[in-house]
């Protein structure tokens, strides 16, 4: 199994992605690639493709519901980092649910995260937010 977002991408086609101009790589090394943004107001930029209808972030490489990837994932804006997939951290996400439903996809449930349980856990590779499901207790090694 894989992370449900890898086969979705719906959120990147539903919301304006606006953030403070200081997040741009013109100001902050490793920030959001400035060439992919446009000015929203004196204090904010937004990702190109998210300021008008139809919304589709320029950094999205996806066929919604089939495959999805953010081409700037390590450098994505803070607002993108703040949108959790439903039930990823134990609660529903109205933004995720609304975006998925708009494409006829079922909202995520706790069952969509079973791949992280016990044997499938991958603590050697936590996500970029430092979150990782906890590992099962290790049995003591006999001497």
- What is the pLDDT averaged over residues 101-121? 84
Q: Which of 12-21, 61-70, 109-118 has the lowest mean pLDDT?
A: 109-118
> Containing H/E element for 52?
none
- What is the pLDDT averaged over residues 96-114? 95
Average pLDDT, the chain: 87
In the predicted model, is pLDDT for residue 30 greater than 60? Answer: yes
Residue 121 near residue 115 (C-beta atoms within 8 A) = no
In the predicted model, is pLDDT for residue 129 greater than 90? Answer: no
In the predicted model, is pLDDT for residue 105 greater than 70? Answer: yes
In the predicted model, is pLDDT for residue 134 greater than 80? Answer: no
Collapsing DSSP states into helix, strand and coil, what is residue 118?
A: helix
The CA distance from 67 to 7, in Å, is 4
Nearest in space to 31 (alpha carbons), one of 81, 71, 72, 79: 72
Cα dihedral 89, 94, 99, 104, rounded to 10, equals: 90
- What is the pLDDT averaged over residues 59-87? 96
pTM of the shown model: 0.77
Tell me what pLDDT residue 63 has. Answer: 97
- What is the pLDDT averaged over residues 118-122? 54
């Amino acid at each position: 199994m894989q992370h449900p977002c890898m086969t979705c991408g719906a959120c990147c086609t539903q919301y304006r992605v606006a953030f403070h101009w200081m997040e741009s790589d013109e100001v902050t090394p490793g920030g959001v690639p400035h060439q992919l943004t446009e000015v929203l107001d004196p204090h904010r930029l937004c990702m190109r493709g998210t300021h008008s209808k139809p919304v589709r972030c320029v950094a999205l490489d996806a066929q919604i519901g089939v495959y999805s990837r953010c081409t700037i994932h390590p450098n994505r804006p803070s607002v993108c980092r703040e949108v959790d997939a439903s039930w990823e951290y134990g609660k529903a996400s109205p933004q995720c649910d609304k975006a998925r439903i708009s494409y006829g996809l079922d909202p995520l449930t706790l069952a969509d995260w079973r791949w992280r349980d016990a044997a499938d856990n991958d603590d050697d590779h936590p996500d970029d937010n430092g979150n990782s499901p906890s590992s099962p207790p290790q049995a003591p090694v006999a001497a």
